[in-house]
Amino acid sequence: MDLSRLPQHEQAQMQALLEQGQARSSIRMYNTVVERCFTDCITTFHSSALSPTETACVKQCVNAFLKHSDRVSQKFMEFS
């Protein structure tokens, strides 16, 4: 987005809004990963630590989500 045509104070406001949107998006993505991987991988609450099976599942889940997110980002960049 080209903000150079706006007055300086409006450029600063727009930049702040863009940064807030990016922060919200990052938090939303993090929450989505946590919720999905927790739901898919955590099966018992007998211990405060994850079992080896749960740990492996969480790692695989997060890696799959990140790969998918990267592919979506790449496709988005192709269309931009």
Question: Cα 54 to the chain's mean position, in Å?
Answer: 21
Question: Cα 6 to the chain's mean position, in Å?
Answer: 30
In the block, residue with structure tokens 């740990």: 55
CATH of residue 61's domain is: 1.10.287.810
Residue 61 lies inside a defined structural domain of this protein: yes
The helix-helix angle for 52-79 and 8-41 (nearest 10°) equals: 140
Residue 1 lies inside a defined structural domain of this protein: no
pLDDT (0 to 100) of residue 80: 66
- The domain total for the chain is 1
Query: Tens-of-pLDDT digits for all 80 residues of the chain?
Result: 577 787 888 888 888 898 999 899 889 999 999 999 999 999 889 888 999 999 999 999 999 999 998 998 898 888 86
Which residues constitute the domain of residue 65?
8-78
**3-state class percentages of the chain: helix first, strand second, coil last, to nearest 5:** 80, 0, 20
Q: Shortest CA distance to 54 belongs to which of 20, 10, 71, 45?
A: 45
Residue 56 lies inside a defined structural domain of this protein: yes
